[in-house]
Copies of this chain bind each other. A is one copy, B any other.
Amino acid sequence: MTTLTSVESSLRTRPVPVGPDLVIGGQAVVLMAGPCAVESYEQTRAAAEAVCRAGGKILRGGAFKPRSSPHSFQGLGRAGLEILRAVADEFGLRVITEALAVEHVPLVAEYADIIQVGSRNMQHFPLLWAVGETQTPVLLKRGLMSTVQEWLLAAEHIAHRGNHNIILCERGIRTFETATRNTLDTNAIALARQLSPYPVIGDPSHATGRADLVLPAARAAIAAGADGLLVEIHPNPAAALSDADQSLPLGAYPEFVRQVGKIAAAMGRTVE
């Protein structure tokens, strides 16, 4: 990995502020939770309430959904963004949501506190340049078959345009294993923290694809050094329009937070 050797190792993490009283990459492990896709006001509000009750500060939810098949649900678009914002404001939460295309960036930046660049778009360079020209925090998911080096170079595409508010997200890589949707790469979490100044969070939902493995994966990510988690929760996972198998039911979320809190504490960190 010779091209990375010029990067100083053991860089101090550069915290990313998300609003006046929250940083990612600071002392606390920050949880971001919510449904894969915004399906309705009621569904999103129920998830936001669960996030708030569990002490969380960031609501996730997708308004534009990248789907392998053109026949799958593609998201509510602007209506979804409006629901997200209204519900988040009601509970005092911040919003993270994905921009799927360059032309979505201004719209998403208007509604969201963090713009997510998804796994399939990690090397969609025009999108990286577009979010790089805002000052909104960007969560950059690792491509599902991208090396750590390519991931950090993708972050450089954003930083190069002037936006250094970058959060890296390891969401599992594609391997030969078929028992899980993806393989959580905890090595990559540790390595990205060592090689880059950006906070790194883990996505145990996509990294496993199975609700029964989300908790151990979340604990592993934090133990590897992750600065936060992105987790899918849903009022009724079985009826979810996407990612039904990997969403935690809302009732399981408080215990999930309690359990990951223990690992965070062992790492000398709090959870929020």
Contact = CB atoms under 8 A, between A and B. Distances in A.
Interface of A: 1, 3-4, 66-71, 100-103, 120-121, 123-126, 143-150, 153-154, 156-157, 160, 173-180, 183-191, 194, 207-208, 212-213, 216-217, 219-225, 262-263, 265-267
Contacts of A175: 173, 175-176, 183, 185
Contacts of A3: 69
Decide if the interface of chain A is mainly helix, strand, loop or mixed. helix
Contacts of A266: 262-263, 265-266
Contact of A177 (B185, B194, B208, B223): B185
Contacts of A154: 68
Given A126-B103, A265-B266, A212 B194 contact: yes
A217 B103 CA distance: 39
Contacts of A126: 100-103
Given A145-B176, A176-B176, A220-B221, A153 B101 contact: no
A62 B166 CA distance: 30
B212 A187 contact: no
Nearest to A65: B125
The 8 tightest CB contacts between A and B, nearest first, are A145-B145, A223-B223, A190-B216, A266-B266, A101-B126, A219-B223, A186-B220, A220-B220
Nearest to A69: B153
A179 B102 contact: no
Given A102-B103, A179-B188, 17 more contacts: A102-B102, A103-B126, A144-B145, A145-B176, A147-B179, A173-B177, A173-B183, A176-B176, A180-B187, A180-B191, A184-B185, A190-B217, A191-B213, A194-B212, A216-B223, A223-B263, A263-B263
